[in-house]
Homo-oligomer: A and B are copies of this chain.
Amino acid sequence: MGKILFVGVAGSSDPKPHPRAATKAERFGAKLAEYRDEVKLLTGGDGGLMKIVSKAFVERGGETIGIIPLEDERRPLNHPRYNPYNTMTIKTGVTFQARSIILVRSSDSFVILGGGAGTIIEAFLAYLYRIPSIVIEETGYPTDKLKEFAMEGYLDHRKLIKAYFTEDPGEAAEKAYTLAKSRTA
């Protein structure tokens, strides 16, 4: 058996995400599930897009690991952001943002599903840690502006690692698999 690959995702925890982003997250999870024997899906374990992508992945036989912050540990089952699709959970005991650091560092490749400030921070973390990343575009979220912010795919002037941009969630899933695979070869 080969090494297990960790594909991480970042996305809005808004319980009612933008329909376009929701559709793309669902399609991404479904496509990535084709690689479920080699890949675990890592998320922040929260609701919104994280729940949608986890559901799509788990329902097709995949396993997820939710890396959850202190604030989410005691979330009741009927909370609008409760995510029942975390196959496993890691309880970090830290804020949402410190949790993001662990999520990103642990990933072999990282995908931005769409979101606001917290998701944008995760995109910059992936850049700083030189984790290969893919940004899904046209989601209706502020992360749509990342391409314009970047210079030729680089998120700052040091050109540490290039991010990939695509509107197509299926392509994002294949790219995430390929990048994780080649990184751990």
Q: How far is the CB of A117 from the nearest CB of chain B, in Å? A: 4
Are A97 and B90 in contact, with the CB atoms below 8 A? no
Q: How far is the CB of A161 from the nearest CB of chain B, in Å? A: 11
Are A120 and B156 in contact, with the CB atoms below 8 A? yes
Number of interface residues of A (CB under 8 A): 41
| A127-185 with Cβ < 8 A to chain B | 127-128, 141-142, 145, 149, 155-158, 160
Are B102 and A101 in contact, with the CB atoms below 8 A? no
Are A117 and B127 in contact, with the CB atoms below 8 A? yes
Q: Which residues on A are within 8 Å of B, measured CB to CB? A: 4, 6, 40, 65, 67, 70, 73, 87-98, 101-102, 105-106, 116-118, 120-121, 124-125, 127-128, 141-142, 145, 149, 155-158, 160
